[in-house]
């Protein structure tokens, strides 16, 4: 039987506010346990939540970016359940009236086409704390630093029909929230958490199959693996005459498997109701206008602009707009006078390779956009050859100065004086009579040998185009 | 000293007749001698009170005294007070020392008031008789075999017995007004949002409101002036200017329109109480007011609506008492579930558990629409009743409670009868309106309260009507025997 995969994702993004969503405590990651939880986060008797408006602005940015309906009035609700890392015994979330309604986002498929994925909603809520089950000798530790960190939960439609599409969608949302500056995107630290709902159905069937929800996915790689495992499991079950049980399953990266966490029957009744401590969030037309005006250029817009303004190929434009930092870097290199296509190549190959090798982030690059631009100009104006340029790049990387001073100091300036090149070629021809004879007898491949000899004599500085031209003339002549 | 009003005490201290330290010592002494028979206070804080009194004396001498400088009060034990046990009348918080001050506490301190201690109350403010307190019932100073009303019963008894010049209270369904009525004092529940709820332990967040419990309307005006106003820490607190409440106390009542809802004078109202209320209304007629009969047709929905909304909110508000971070924790829990079950089973009393169960049920999947949503709709109907009424009248008047103080133990096993004691007060909480109760002619030596309900933020009008009545009568000056 041929099966069709159906996937929908719920993505929790931690919003990059400085303070928590309902208190003034810091949201910084990595502080000593329980040092960043104030009495409001701790749910002390008598305390009350006050909404952080920056979190609302961030939600608006997201809503505008995915062309969603923005609710002029949204409501915070309490989701009630007991757990030690949930101090109040309820999580403040949004239920019936979320701030961001229906929207959509395009994902790029392998064949170069785009597919539109529906976004059901995105709502604001507070994060819970962390329960630590190791290192406490049979007891559990609780760290409430994370309690009250603002989250935007982005819920997709079940529109993805393959694991590849699901990963592409998750990456696209990741790229977008980082672009918008509303999330740091750090999956290891839990700033971007993906829960995946997956089901299968016989190809052509309209009704959805029974789904399972996968939790604890903290990288795109694990996401792909978890979904693969789960897909196989469901196919095996159905083809073996069994049934998929609706349940939440935990992905165990160490064992690369998913296992049951709780079934539908064990699911909590969260007894949602509007939080009487908070007023409904009213978004005025003016506020929405302000938010629209403050929108940064989005990845897809930037990509189209790069194609148009810099004549980049679609593939290069896609690569150069992968992140805002990369796009900014690219534009700065080009602004300093470099050719766009050449810039794209150098940024993707040399710079990315060097950064990767050194384990550095683009923001930590020892080569500034201006320095790279200077180097690319020297290639373009034939001051140095492409081959020597790599040496120059290395020198800049090592802090030896910008392109011009490195070229000067190392004497790498290309020889373009025809007279000088001719002289060296004459010497090479004179020194290798046997090869000259063979070449003239039709062994064309030997041209490379002569070029190599000339380059050796000039330490690679001779302009390769000129060398070729003169060599051919002399050898044939 | 103890029978003087706040205004009189303030004037006497400024004139140098006595100091706040002397006055505070006097009240501490009365608490020592008399609280035993009333059980009005859970915690007395004499050392702190004297320190605050000394500071107040210095402020008075330097002429920089706040409006309540040196006035000794008691705080209902629902308000968080830094460094002092804040029990909320529950075993659950018997060991809880608050690390912070409620906004109400902070503002009264800033106004110079002295806190004598924390007043007894029904557990988590759930009760109408003060019999649900973990610390035992409060006795009514007018008859020690009777209840003082609730949930602010300790505050009401303390003021009635002159153990403090005034007290704070909170009112979710009548918890300021009903005990004020049963103890013969003045109690004002302000408009929802007039006084900050920050630091006031939540019972039902959409209904809870703090207010003053005093010997007179003038004192209530002085207290409310200090308590009211915007607080950025409470999102539901109104960002609206506070009126000058003492400025309008003596306004003429000529032409003021008083509405008497016929539903507040029907079955269940004791005839003696009815007669006292009629007499008080007659006085208002003499003062120039126009009295008309009105209808609040949805009055019958108030109690059932309240007993869905309030328990629903409380079931969620009280989830934080789980034995994990503060408060009571059961001995040697086996596991997490055992910790929760026994902590909450042992830490909460019967009435609190009953309401948590009702509320949990009302919010459960499959019942939410039938109960919680329905109650929100009937709540609107009740608000609309008042909205229509205030199109034609300035205030609504009637009894605060259908009966005078009932006997201890009389209704404690019959929750529904107990709940019906709040039949006239609950609707104002559901609508968010202000209401005041003032003592009128007593029946068989037991106080009776007249309730005046106003439109939103019309506290000034209520205080004006109350003060004019008190200028003509002396029911508010009566002191129970043994406490004069």
Please give the biggest Cα pair distance in chain B.
Answer: 70
Which of B96, B235, B340 has its CB closest to that of A82?
Answer: B340
**Cβ within 8 Å, pair B316-A43:** no
Residues of B within 8 A of A277 (CB-CB) are 202, 205, 235-236
Which of A45, A47, A271 has its CB closest to that of B360?
Answer: A271
Cβ atoms of B161 and B120 closer than 8 Å: no
B98 Cβ partners below 8 Å, 6+ apart? Answer: A44, A45, A46, B80, B81, B82, B83, B84, B85, B86, B199
Would you say residue A388 has pLDDT above 90? no
Residues of B within 8 A of A45 (CB-CB) are 80, 86, 88, 93, 96, 98, 201-202, 320, 326-327
Of B237, B256, B275, which closes a domain? Answer: B256
Q: Give the closest-approach CA distance of A86 to chain B in angstroms.
A: 9
How far apart are the C-alpha atoms of A191 and A187, rounded to whole Å? Answer: 5
Would you say residue A265 has pLDDT above 80? no
3-state helix/strand/coil string of chain A: CCEEEEEEEEEEEECCCCECCCCCCECCCCCCCCCCCCCCCCCCCCCCCCCCHHHHHHHHHHHHHCCCCECCEECEEEEECCCCCCCCCEEEEECCCCCECCEEEEEECCCCCEEEEEEEEEEEEECCCEEECCCCCCCCEEECCCCCCEEEEEEECCCECCHHHHHHHHHHHHHHHHHCCCCCCCCCCCCEEEEEEEEEEECCCCCCCCCEEEEEECCHHHHHHHHHHHHHHHHHHHHCCCCCCCEEEEEECCCCEEEEEEEHHHCCCCCCEECCCCCCEECCHHHHHHHHHCCCCCHHHHHHHHHHHHCCCHHHHHHHCCCHHHHHHHHHHHHCCCCHHHHHHHHHHHHHHHHHHHCCCHHHCCCCHHHHHHHHHHHHCCCCCHHHHHHHHHHHHCCCCCHHHHHHHHCCCCECCHHHHHHHHHHHHHHCHHHHHHHHCCCHHHHHHHHHHHHHHHCCCECHHHHHHHHHHHHHC
pLDDT (0 to 100) of residue A417: 81
**A195-218 mean pLDDT:** 95
How far apart are the C-alpha atoms of A143 and A136, rounded to whole Å? Answer: 13
**Cβ within 8 Å, pair B322-A269:** no
Would you say residue B236 has pLDDT above 70? yes
Chain A: residue whose CA lies nearest to B313:
A276
Q: Is the dihedral of CA A161, A165, A167, A173 positive or negative?
A: negative
Indicate whether B100 belongs to any domain. Answer: yes
The angle subtended at Cα B424 by Cα B421 and Cα B430, nearest 5°, is 110
Whichever domain contains B80, its CATH number is 3.90.1300.10
The percentage of residues in chain A with a pLDDT greater than 90, rounded to a whole number, is: 73
How far apart are the C-alpha atoms of A126 and A150, rounded to whole Å? Answer: 5
Q: Give the closest-approach CA distance of A177 to chain B in angstroms.
A: 29
Q: Give the closest-approach CA distance of A64 to chain B in angstroms.
A: 27
Report the range of poorest mean pLDDT among A108-122, B94-108, B465-479: A108-122
In degrees rounded to 5, what are phi and psi of residue A265?
A: -65, -30
**B17-24 mean pLDDT:** 98
Q: Which of residues 256-275 of B touch A (CB under 8 A)?
A: none
Domain identity same for B196 and B323? no
Would you say residue B320 has pLDDT above 80? yes
What token pair was written down for A237?
């079950």
Q: Which of residues 97-126 of B touch A (CB under 8 A)?
A: 98-100, 102
State the pLDDT confidence band at B227, using cuts at 50, 70 and 90: very high
**A349-378 mean pLDDT:** 94
Q: Which H or E run contains B362? A: helix B350-363
Secondary structure (DSSP) of B24-89: HHHHHHHHHHHHHHH--EEEE-HHHHHHHHHHHHHHHHTT---TTTT-EEEEETTB--TTSB--TT
How far apart are the C-alpha atoms of A188 and A70, rounded to whole Å? Answer: 31
Residues of B within 8 A of A271 (CB-CB) are 315-316, 360, 363-365, 368
Q: What is the dihedral of CA A314, A320, A324, A328, to 10 degrees?
A: -120
Q: What is the dihedral of CA B344, B345, B346, B349, to 10 degrees?
A: 90
State the pLDDT confidence band at B44, using cuts at 50, 70 and 90: very high
State the pLDDT confidence band at B472, using cuts at 50, 70 and 90: very high
Residues of A within 8 A of B372 (CB-CB) are 273
The angle subtended at Cα A279 by Cα A277 and Cα A280, nearest 5°, is 135
Chain A: residue whose CA lies nearest to B367:
A271
pLDDT (0 to 100) of residue A464: 81
pLDDT digits (tens, 9 = 90+) for A167-187: 999 999 999 999 999 999 999
Q: Write out the residue limits of the CATH 1.10.10.410 domain(s) in chain A.
A: 418-476
Q: Give the closest-approach CA distance of B363 to chain A in angstroms.
A: 5
pLDDT digits (tens, 9 = 90+) for B145-183: 999 999 999 999 999 999 999 999 999 999 999 999 999
Indicate whether B267 belongs to any domain. Answer: no
State the pLDDT confidence band at B225, using cuts at 50, 70 and 90: very high
Chain B: residue whose CA lies nearest to A34:
B325
What token pair was written down for B357?
């169960």
In degrees rounded to 5, what are phi and psi of residue B169?
A: -145, 175
Cβ atoms of A50 and B233 closer than 8 Å: yes
Which of B234, B319, B368 has its CB closest to that of A90?
Answer: B319
Count of domains in chain B? Answer: 2
How far apart are the C-alpha atoms of A124 and A100, rounded to whole Å? Answer: 9
Would you say residue B99 has pLDDT above 90? yes
Is A271 part of the contact surface with chain B (CB cutoff 8 Å)? yes
Please indicate whether residue A197 or residue B419 has the higher confidence score (pLDDT).
A197
How far apart are the C-alpha atoms of B2 and A189, rounded to whole Å? Answer: 62
Is B374 part of the contact surface with chain A (CB cutoff 8 Å)? no
- Return the closest-CA partner of residue A177 out of A362, A21, A10, A13: A13
Range A418-476 classified under CATH 1.10.510.10: no
The percentage of residues in chain B with a pLDDT greater than 90, rounded to a whole number, is: 96
> Is residue B175 annotated as part of the catalytic site, yes or no?
yes
pLDDT digits (tens, 9 = 90+) for A284-324: 999 999 999 999 999 999 999 999 999 999 999 999 999 99
Please indicate whether residue A279 or residue A136 has the higher confidence score (pLDDT).
A279
Would you say residue A65 has pLDDT above 90? yes
Is A269 part of the contact surface with chain B (CB cutoff 8 Å)? yes
pLDDT mean across residues, chain A: 93
State the pLDDT confidence band at A477, using cuts at 50, 70 and 90: low
**B324-328 mean pLDDT:** 96
Q: Which H or E run contains B116? A: strand B114-119
**A353-376 mean pLDDT:** 94
Q: Which residue has the tokens 């332990």?
A: B201
Would you say residue B223 has pLDDT above 80? yes
> Is residue B151 annotated as part of the catalytic site, yes or no?
yes
Is A241 part of the contact surface with chain B (CB cutoff 8 Å)? no
What token pair was written down for A196?
């995946």
- Return the closest-CA partner of residue B420 out of B429, B411, B428: B411
pLDDT digits (tens, 9 = 90+) for A25-49: 999 998 999 999 999 999 999 999 9
**Cβ within 8 Å, pair A46-B198:** yes
State the pLDDT confidence band at B92, using cuts at 50, 70 and 90: very high
Indicate whether B392 belongs to any domain. Answer: no
Would you say residue B131 has pLDDT above 90? yes
pLDDT mean across residues, chain B: 97
Q: Give the closest-approach CA distance of A227 to chain B in angstroms.
A: 31
Give the structural domain span for B110: 6-256
Residues of B within 8 A of A42 (CB-CB) are 325
CB pairs under 8 A between A and B: 99
State the pLDDT confidence band at B407, using cuts at 50, 70 and 90: very high
> Is residue B316 annotated as part of the catalytic site, yes or no?
no
A221 Cβ partners below 8 Å, 6+ apart? Answer: none
Would you say residue A266 has pLDDT above 80? no
Chain A: residue whose CA lies nearest to B314:
A276
Chain B: residue whose CA lies nearest to A51:
B235
| The pairing of beta strand A273-274 with beta strand A281-282 | unpaired
Chain B: residue whose CA lies nearest to A84:
B324
Alpha helix stretches (DSSP H) within B146-270: 153-160, 177-183, 217-227
Q: Give the closest-approach CA distance of B194 to chain A in angstroms.
A: 15
Residues of B within 8 A of A87 (CB-CB) are 320, 324-325
Q: Give the closest-approach CA distance of B374 to chain A in angstroms.
A: 13
**Cβ within 8 Å, pair A46-B201:** yes
Of B362, B377, B392, which closes a domain? Answer: B377
Is A265 part of the contact surface with chain B (CB cutoff 8 Å)? no
Domain identity same for B236 and B313? no
Which of A42, A46, A49 has its CB closest to that of B102?
Answer: A46
CB atoms within 10 A of CB A137: 5
SS3 B143: strand
Cβ atoms of B103 and B121 closer than 8 Å: no
**Cβ within 8 Å, pair A269-B336:** no
**A46-72 mean pLDDT:** 98
Q: Which residue has the tokens 């210095």?
A: B58
Q: Quote the pTM value.
A: 0.91
Would you say residue B417 has pLDDT above 90? no
pLDDT (0 to 100) of residue A469: 86
């Amino acid at each position: 039987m041929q099966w069709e995969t159906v996937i929908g994702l719920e993505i929790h993004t931690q919003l990059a506010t400085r303070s928590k969503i309902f208190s003034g405590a810091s949201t910084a990651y990595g502080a000593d346990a329980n040092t960043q939880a104030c009495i409001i986060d701790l749910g002390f008797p008598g305390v009350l939540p006050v909404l952080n408006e920056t979190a609302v602005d961030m939600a608006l940015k997201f809503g505008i970016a995915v062309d969603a309906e923005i609710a002029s009035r949204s409501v915070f609700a309490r989701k009630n359940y007991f757990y030690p890392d949930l101090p109040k015994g309820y999580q403040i979330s949004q239920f019936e009236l979320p701030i961001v309604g229906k929207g959509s986002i395009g994902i790029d498929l392998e064949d170069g086409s785009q597919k539109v994925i529906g976004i059901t909603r995105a709502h604001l809520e507070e994060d819970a704390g962390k329960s630590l089950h190791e290192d406490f000798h049979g007891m559990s530790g609780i760290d409430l630093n994370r309690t009250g960190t603002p989250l935007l939960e982005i819920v997709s439609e079940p529109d993805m029909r393959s694991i590849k599409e699901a990963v592409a969608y998750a990456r696209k949302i990741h790229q977008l929230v980082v672009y918008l500056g509303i999330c740091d995107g750090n999956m290891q630290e839990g700033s971007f958490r993906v829960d995946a709902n997956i089901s299968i159905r016989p190809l052509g069937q309209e009704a959805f199959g029974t789904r399972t929800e996968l939790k604890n996915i903290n990288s795109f790689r694990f996401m792909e693996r978890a979904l693969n495992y789960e897909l196989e499991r469901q196919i095996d079950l159905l083809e073996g005459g069994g049934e998929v049980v609706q349940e939440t399953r935990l992905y165990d990266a160490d064992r690369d498997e998913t296992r049951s966490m709780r079934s539908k029957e064990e699911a909590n009744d969260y007894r949602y109701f509007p939080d009487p401590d908070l007023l409904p969030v009213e978004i005025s037309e003016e506020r929405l206008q302000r938010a629209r005006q403050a929108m940064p250029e989005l990845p897809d817009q930037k990509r189209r602009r790069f194609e148009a303004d810099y004549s980049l190929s679609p593939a290069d434009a896609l690569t150069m707009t992968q992140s805002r930092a990369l796009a900014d870097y690219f534009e700065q290199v080009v602004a300093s006078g470099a050719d766009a296509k050449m810039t794209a190549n150098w940024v993707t190959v040399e710079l990315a390779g060097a950064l990767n090798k050194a384990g550095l982030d683009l923001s930590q690059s020892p080569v500034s956009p201006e320095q790279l631009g200077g180097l690319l100009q020297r290639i373009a104006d034939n001051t140095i050859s492409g081959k020597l340029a790599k040496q120059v790049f290395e020198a800049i990387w090592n802090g030896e100065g910008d392109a011009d001073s490195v070229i000067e100091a190392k004497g790498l300036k290309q020889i373009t004086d025809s007279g000088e090149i001719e002289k060296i070629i004459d010497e090479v021809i004179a020194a290798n009579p046997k090869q000259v004879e063979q070449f003239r007898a039709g062994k064309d491949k030997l041209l490379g040998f002569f070029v190599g000899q000339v380059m050796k004599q000039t330490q690679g500085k001779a302009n390769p185009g000129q060398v070729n031209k003169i060599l051919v003339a002399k050898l044939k002549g | 000293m103890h029978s003087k009003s706040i205004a009189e005490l303030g004037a006497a201290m400024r004139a140098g007749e006595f100091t706040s330290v002397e006055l505070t010592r006097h009240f501490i002494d009365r608490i020592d001698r008399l609280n035993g028979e009333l059980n009005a206070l859970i915690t007395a804080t004499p050392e702190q009170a004297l320190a605050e009194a000394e500071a107040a004396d210095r402020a008075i001498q330097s002429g920089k005294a706040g409006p309540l400088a040196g006035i000794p009060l008691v705080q209902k034990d629902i308000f968080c007070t830094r460094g002092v046990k804040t029990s909320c009348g529950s075993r659950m918080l018997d060991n809880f020392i608050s690390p912070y001050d409620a906004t109400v506490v902070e503002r009264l301190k800033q106004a110079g008031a002295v806190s004598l201690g924390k007043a007894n109350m029904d557990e988590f403010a759930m009760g109408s008789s003060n019999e649900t307190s973990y610390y035992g019932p409060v006795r009514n100073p007018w008859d020690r075999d009777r209840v003082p009303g609730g949930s602010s019963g300790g505050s009401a008894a303390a003021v009635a017995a002159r153990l403090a010049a005034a007290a704070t209270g909170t009112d979710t369904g009548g918890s300021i007004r009903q005990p004020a009525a049963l103890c013969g004092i003045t109690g004002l529940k302000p408009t929802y949002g007039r006084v900050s709820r920050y630091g006031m332990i939540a019972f039902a967040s959409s209904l809870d409101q703090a207010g003053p419990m005093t010997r007179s309307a003038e004192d209530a005006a002085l207290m409310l002036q200090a308590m009211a106003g915007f607080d950025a820490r409470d999102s539901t607190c109104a960002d609206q200017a506070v009126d000058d409440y003492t400025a309008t106390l003596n306004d003429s009542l000529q032409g003021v329109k008083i509405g008497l809802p016929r539903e507040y004078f029907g079955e269940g109202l004791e005839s003696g109480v009815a007669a006292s209320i009629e007499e008080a209304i007659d006085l208002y007629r003499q003062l120039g007011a126009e009295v008309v009969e009105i209808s609040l047709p949805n009055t019958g929905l108030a109690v059932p609506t309240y007993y869905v909304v309030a328990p629903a909110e409380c079931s969620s508000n009280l989830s934080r008492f789980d034995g994990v971070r503060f408060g009571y924790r059961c001995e040697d829990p086996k596991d997490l579930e055992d910790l929760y079950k026994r902590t909450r089973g042992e830490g909460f009393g019967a009435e609190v558990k009953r309401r948590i169960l009702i509320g949990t049920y009302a919010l459960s999947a499959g019942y939410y629409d039938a109960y919680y949503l329905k109650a929100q709709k009937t709540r609107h109907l009740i608000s609309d009743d008042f909205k229509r009424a205030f199109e034609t009248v300035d205030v609504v008047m009637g009894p605060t409670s259908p009966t005078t103080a009932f006997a201890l133990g009389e209704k404690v096993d019959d929750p529904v009868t107990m709940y019906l004691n709040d039949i006239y007060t609950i609707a104002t909480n559901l609508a968010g309106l202000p209401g005041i109760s003032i003592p009128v002619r007593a029946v068989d030596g037991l106080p009776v309260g007249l309730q005046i309900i106003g439109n939103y933020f019309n506290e000034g009008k209520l205080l004006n009507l109350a003060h004019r009545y008190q200028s003509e009568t002396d029911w508010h000056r009566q002191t129970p025997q043994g406490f004069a």
